[in-house]
């Protein structure tokens, strides 16, 4: 499809925003007109959001000038408006010109460029890995709740462009740099997690009715065992600490524990013991403070601890198992997939 004609717009203010590549075959370009200086749209912008368009990044260390010819792409991944099936990617480098793509492979990036995205759907994992293999740096937002909070501070509308402007105003420390190992492990773990939910749902339905689903459950369990074998193999190859932890905890014969351990090792960043412990929600109760924790990672740690210590585990049991993993990782001076 030929790209549509575009009209001229105000040039971007920042030098690093120049150099956006040509349109791809499956992309359309949209131009956002600049509001008049002194209008309500510019008066409502908070400091650091830029002038005129409300999307230029704040001049902090996260958005310091990069090397010559290196661009930053800010992307918002959202479902299609017509039928809600599939995802579409809206991206920009300057907050003035917005473009659309159906996959990460269609974004006009080159080696050395940085791509900041709010979320990466599982069906876009292969294209995201393709960007990494081309030498592109890929960053994902650590917490999606930051978008709503920052968008309210900037008084931006809840739209695709508003979300992209919000991403541009966030410091780089709120994004996690992704690797091929992490994306591959996340994809396999998500598949197993979905099968685990389906298995539990079938068991609950079977108990409530006379159907039972015995043959379906047995077939599903065989598929789950096959996925666990692949997860354990990949985790042992991509994270040297995995096999050592399996040996220390003695979970060779537990497929559920092997998958749970891979999930526990994959999602945290393991930079410090305090941050790792808080990621799993292992803190002293304080109703005045709102802590962030990963619900799915906490559930994986609970499944792992049950496999090691049996049922009726408590918080100190979870922390003991997590501390064992932490000690092994630091002793080998190697971490799980970033």
Distances (CA, A) of 148 to 151, 158, 159: 5, 8, 11
On the CB side of 232, CA atoms within 13 Å amount to 20
Q: What is the pLDDT of residue 84?
A: 59
* β-strand partners of 138: 115
Q: What secondary structure letter does DSSP report for 37? A: T
Q: What is the pLDDT of residue 199?
A: 92
pTM, whole model, 2 decimals?
Answer: 0.72
Distances (CA, A) of 246 to 156, 257, 338: 48, 9, 20
φ, ψ of residue 222 to 5 degrees: the values are -65, -40
Cβ count within 10 A of residue 80: 11
The structure tokens listed for 103 are 């996959």
Task: Quote the Cα angle for 215-221-225, to 5°.
Answer: 150
Q: What is the pLDDT of residue 321?
A: 94
| End-to-end CA separation in angstroms for the chain | 38
Sole residue written with tokens 């501390």: 323
Q: What is the pLDDT of residue 293?
A: 73
Q: Per-residue confidence of the chain (338 residues) as pLDDT tens digits?
A: 444 433 333 344 333 333 334 333 344 333 333 443 333 333 333 333 333 222 333 333 344 445 567 889 999 998 876 665 788 899 999 888 999 999 999 999 999 999 999 999 998 999 999 999 999 999 999 888 888 888 888 898 888 899 999 999 999 899 999 999 999 999 999 999 999 999 999 988 888 887 778 889 999 999 999 999 999 999 999 988 999 999 999 998 889 999 999 999 999 888 889 889 888 988 776 666 555 678 888 999 999 999 999 888 888 999 999 999 999 998 876 556 65
CA gap 13, 51 in Å, rounded = 9
For the chain, what are the domain ranges? 15-177, 180-332
* β-strand partners of 98: 30
Q: What is the pLDDT of residue 83?
A: 61
Q: What is the pLDDT of residue 291?
A: 59
């Amino acid at each position: 499809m030929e790209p549509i004609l575009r009209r001229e717009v105000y040039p971007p203010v920042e030098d690093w925003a120049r150099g956006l590549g040509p349109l791809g075959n499956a992309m359309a370009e949209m131009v956002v007109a600049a509001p008049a200086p002194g209008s309500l749209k510019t008066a409502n912008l908070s400091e650091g959001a830029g002038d005129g368009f409300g999307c230029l990044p704040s001049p902090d260390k996260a958005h310091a000038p990069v090397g010559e010819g290196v661009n930053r792409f800010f992307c918002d991944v959202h479902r299609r408006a017509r039928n809600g099936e599939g995802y579409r990617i809206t991206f920009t480098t300057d907050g003035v010109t917005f473009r659309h793509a159906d996959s990460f492979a269609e974004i006009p990036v080159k080696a050395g460029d940085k791509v900041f995205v709010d979320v990466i759907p599982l069906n876009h994992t292969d294209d995201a890995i393709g960007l990494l293999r081309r030498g592109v740096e890929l960053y994902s937002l650590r917490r999606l709740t930051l978008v709503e909070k920052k968008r309210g501070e900037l008084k931006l509308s809840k739209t695709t462009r508003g979300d992209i402007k919000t991403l541009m105003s966030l410091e780089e420390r709120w994004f996690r740099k992704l690797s091929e190992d992490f994306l591959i492990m996340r994809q396999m773990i998500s598949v197993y997690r979905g099968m685990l939910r389906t298995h539990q749902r079938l068991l609950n339905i079977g108990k409530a009715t006379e159907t039972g689903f015995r043959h379906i459950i047995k077939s599903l369990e065989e598929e789950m065992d096959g996925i666990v074998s692949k997860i354990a193999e990949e985790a042992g190859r991509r994270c040297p600490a995995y096999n050592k932890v399996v040996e220390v905890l003695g979970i060779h014969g537990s497929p559920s524990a092997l998958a749970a351990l891979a999930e526990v090792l994959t999602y945290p960043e393991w930079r410090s013991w305090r941050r790792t412990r808080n990621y799993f929600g292992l803190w002293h109760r304080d109703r005045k403070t709102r802590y962030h924790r990963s619900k799915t990672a906490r559930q994986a740690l609970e499944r792992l601890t049950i496999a090691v210590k049996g049922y009726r585990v408590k918080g100190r049991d979870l922390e003991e198992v997590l501390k064992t993993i932490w000690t092994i990782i630091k002793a080998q001076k190697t971490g799980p997939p970033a």
